[in-house]
Structure 1
Amino acid sequence: MLTYIKESIEELRNNVTWPSRAEASNLMVVVAVFSILFALATWGVDTVFSKLVQLYFNNVLN
């Protein structure tokens, strides 16, 4: 396990190309925007299905 951790750290230092601070900031904004849009879409679909289920059961029970 210790060897694995040492090799992982070595690979991160030597073989990984890290983005610049500006590029990382831009990517963070893109991820945040898509996360918010996906959350809103999920909320919208959940709301629609909730209303449909309520309508169905209100019609079945009455």
Structure 2
Amino acid sequence: MSKVTNYISEAFAELKTNVTWPEWAEIQRLTIIVAVFSVIFALLTFGIDRGFEVLVANIYSFLKN
């Protein structure tokens, strides 16, 4: 159990001393960029899915007649 406790305390010490954390303004800017691209990618995926749905429906209706 002491190995686990030692590992956790060393990990926290390394996070405090060796990791360079970004500034709050940069975090906000990057979060907005990720959110915008996520929405764009979701809309693009939705559009492609809807297009394939229409295409498949037209193919089935053509084959049905």
Query: Under a length normalisation based on structure 2, what TM-score does the superposition of the two structures give?
Result: 0.81
**Which has the higher mean CA deviation after the structures are superposed, 1-10 or 17-26?**
1-10
**Which has the higher mean CA deviation after the structures are superposed, 16-25 or 6-15?**
6-15
The corresponding residue for 2:13 is 10
The corresponding residue for 1:39 is 42
Task: Provide the identity percentage.
Answer: 45
| Runs of at least 4 residues off by over 3 Å | 3-7
Q: Distance in 2 between matches of 1:16 and 1:38?
A: 31
Q: Distance in 1 between matches of 2:19 and 2:56?
A: 50
Q: Distance in 1 between matches of 2:10 and 2:53?
A: 50
Which structure 1 residue ranges, 5 or more long, are not aligned?
none
Instruction: Report how many aligned residue pairs link the two structures.
Output: 62
